[in-house]
Each structure stands twice: as structure tokens, then as C-alpha cells.
Copies of this chain bind each other. A is one copy, B any other.
Amino acid sequence: MTVNAAYATLETRHRRLSAIRGAQAILGWDQSVIMPTGSNEDRAEQQATLSVLAHELQTAPDMGDLLAEAGAGGGLDDWQAANLREMRHHWAHASALPSDLVEAFSKACTRAEVIWREAKRTSDFALLKPALATVLDLTRRTGEAKGAVLGLTVYDALLDAYEPGGRAERVDAVFDELEAFLPALARTVMERQAALGALLPLVGPFAVEAQKRLGLEMMKAVGFDFDKGRLDVSAHPFTGGTPDDIRITTRYDETDFARALMGVLHETGHAMYEAGLPTAWRHQLVGGARGMTLHESQSLLLEMQACRGRPFIEWAAPRMAAAFGGTGPAWTAANIHRIYTTVKPDFVRVDADEVTYPLHVILRYRLERAMVAGDLRLEDLPGAWNEGMKRLLGIVPPTDTLGCLQDIHWPSGGWGYFPTYTLGAVAAAQLFAAAKLADPSIEPGLARGDFAPLFGWLRVNVHGVGSRLSTEGILVAATGAPLGVAAFRRHLESRYVGA
């Protein structure tokens, strides 16, 4: 079989799109890590131009015809057919929006982000409200326009941009189940941990150079390929770049190495997913990461499932002690494992442990759905936030800085993103359980710092699939079941209450 000409043309165009997006990823990394502060406008101009060029390519007038011809033309194997499906999906998202809406939305988000920084600093929700109202209005119009084309509700159309195929109905089912046991589980865990008495703190200062060396040592153990990636410093850690040029960032705190180290491992999980994507499809959509749920599942699988687990800590603890010259009972695997598995309700999502984290996400998901639907007015957000915190976590933030102003997602237009954090955590548990069942050498591997068995399984069952299957398709093929809460619950109960 030879692929049809329309499909071949589409592949060429998407190869270009991939290169433009890759360039943008490197420029974005540079902006966060390297760029002088006075170069913002210059970089914004570059990024805007590349976005416009990509959008013009993506929505060229003949794209609809080419996609139809490629579908009718035949001659496609499984990968090519899946690639064409992804092209259609991306095109539907991109072409659904009139360009004046895209521009208005982009400007509104840039503006609201700036105001948000000030509002967060001064805990002044009223300051943010008008700009946030504009973002919400344009978000709703975006969801409506996409929904009309994709045949989805407004919220599902927003969610679909981060998690292709993700639907609120499925999210509700998972989140309802989590909400049914997590608050009680968290209380139980906290009681048990309190009964164990105080844990021994690791006392610094921990030199940045030593932290960096340790982080690099752990990344090497995991299997990160430094021939195709780097570790650097930025204010907000992230994984950027491209699958062949992966840029991980972290930030160091001389009083606390443990958190930054786990942050590096978290980002390394993202990086290993990118690096493991099918190389034969590097510059095509079908070769890309499946969506934010699976992406987060890979960071959390490495961080929460593997590296906060006792087997890995047994191997890592003496290495941590050696890195900082630590001695005594605080540096035992048992104490370090306690540090890494402490459960404690916190006002701030990014500081939350794995037991309480989903409750933060459930709160945001419920609130953003209500706001998008018009069932919650913006002026009622702070109150609704605090009520939700009280109900789910039993604590009420003393300020909006520690409450509804803490996250950048809403002012920056990322509505529909939040649920993927917890869907990812749930998927991570399900995949890790299946992996250990399939290959009994995985857990003993972790106990000697050998991640090869784990990533051997993930390469075949998750990373190497790219976007050939849907998220659910990948989970079913890899674990025998669609996304469900059972493995996550078992994991938490086993780790935290020894059940």
C-alpha cells in the first residue's frame, strides 16, 4: 500500500507544525531560565509570530478538504490512520474558533495574569474580579464554539483540549468515588501518624551544588538521557523542550533538599514519557503524548508510586546522607520515608500530600464547572472556596491568597485543566499496580536503584503507544480495565494505614 497524496501532504504540514512548536518550547524554556528581564517584549513578539504562523498552517483553507481526501484515499496503516484521526481532532479545535476570539482570549489572559500577581500578593479578590470575568466570558465562548463543532458540552469542550476524550461525566464518577472515602482516610492517617510521635527533621543548610549533584545522580539512576536533555533552575519548576531535547527545571531551597529532590523526580517522570514516545513518529501528532492525564500519571508514577515508596527510599536514603554528610537517626530510610509520606491538610494545593491533593482538585473542578455553567457567580467564589475547603479538608484559608487566588490556572485561561492532576494520580496507581503484576522484578529493581524493569514496561505499554490509542484505550490495553479508583485506594490504604 502507498499512502494517498492528501495524507502525505498533511504529514509534511504537521512536521512543520511540530518544528514550530518545538522552537516555541525552547524559546519558552529560555524565557523562564535564561532570558534577561528586559527582553520580554522581544520574546513575546517572536512567540506571537510563531503562534500565528502555526495557526495559519493549522487552519489553512484547504485543510478540511485534505483531511476528507486523506480519509477517503485509503492506503493507511494503523499508525497513519490514528495520525489522521489526531490531525482531524486538532484541526477541529483550532478551526472552531474565529481568530478575533483567539486574539481577545489571549490578550484577556495576559492581562488577567498580570493583575492576578498583584491581587494574590495583596489578597485582593475584588481587584482580580473584572479581569477574571472577561477571561471566564471568553472561556465560555471558546467552549461554546468548540462544543458546537465537536458535539460536546461547553465544559467537555474545554476539558477535551487538555485531555482528548475526557468527559465530565467520567470525571464526576471518579471524583465522587474519591470524595466518598478520602476525607475520612485523611483523618485516619493523620491520627495514626500523630500517634507515632514527632519525626526527626533533616537539618540543613543543604548546599545548592550538593543538591544539584544528588538530583543528577537520581536522574541518572532513573535513566534520564543527558545526551538529549538538561536540568536547570527556574522560579516555577517544569518540563519543557522537545522529546529529543528535554529541559527539566527545579528550584533549590537550602533549608529543605527533600522537596526539590522529589520535584526533580516528578519532572523526570514527565521527561521519561516524552523521551519514550515512538521515535518513528517524532514529528507527527500520533507520536505525541496522549494528554495531560497520562502525562501527569507518568510524573506521579515516578514520584508518588515509585520514589516515595519504601523500596526506593531504602536505596536512596544512604545516598542522600552521603550527599550532605548527614548522620544519625534522622537519615535512616525509615525516618526519610516518614518525611516523604507525611499527611497534613494544607491551604495550598502545590504543598499537598498525595492523600489530600485530590480534595484540592475536586474543589477546583466543582467550582470551575459551576462558574462555566453560570451556576456560581464570581463574587461568590471566595465564599464557595472556603466552604469547600471546610467540607473537604476541614480547614478554612485565612486569606484569599491562600484560598481562591493561589493558582494561576483561571486567570491564565486554563479552565478544564485541574481535573487532569487527579485523573493522573489515579491512573498512576492503576498503571503501577499492573506493571508490578506483569513484571515481579520491578519492585526489587527500585530497591537497588534500578529503574530499567519499570521503564521497560512503561515504554511498551504507555510511552511507545504515543497517541495511537485513546487514554482509556491505553489504560485498558495496559491494565485490563478503564480508569478506576480501586488501585489508587488500595495504594493509599496500603501505604498509609497498612491495610
Contact = CB atoms under 8 A, between A and B. Distances in A.
Interface of A: 15-16, 19-20, 22-23, 26-27, 30, 34-39, 41-43, 45-46, 48-50, 52-53, 225-230, 242, 244-245, 283
B20 A245 contact: no
A42 B230 contact: no
A245 B35 contact: yes
A42 B244 contact: yes
Contact of A46 (B23, B42, B52, B228): B23
Given A36-B228, A245-B35, A42 B22 contact: yes
Given A45-B22, A46-B23, A39 B228 contact: yes
Contacts of A41: 244
Contact of A228 (B15, B38, B49): B38
B27 A23 contact: yes
Q: How many copies does the complex hold?
A: 2
B227 A38 contact: yes
A19 to B, nearest CB: 4
A246 to B, nearest CB: 8
A236 B417 CA distance: 44
A225 to B, nearest CB: 7
Contact of A244 (B38, B226, B227): B38
B38 A225 contact: yes
- Please indicate which of the listed interface residues A37, A45, A50, A225 has the most CB atoms of chain B within 10 Å of its own CB: A45
Contact of A49 (B20, B26, B226, B230): B20
Nearest to A53: B53
Nearest to A242: B42
A402 to B, nearest CB: 33
Contacts of A229: 36
A244 B27 CA distance: 15
A19 B39 contact: no
B19 A49 contact: yes
Nearest to A50: B23
Among A15, A26, A41, which residue has the most Cβ atoms of chain B within 10 A? A26
A34 B241 CA distance: 12
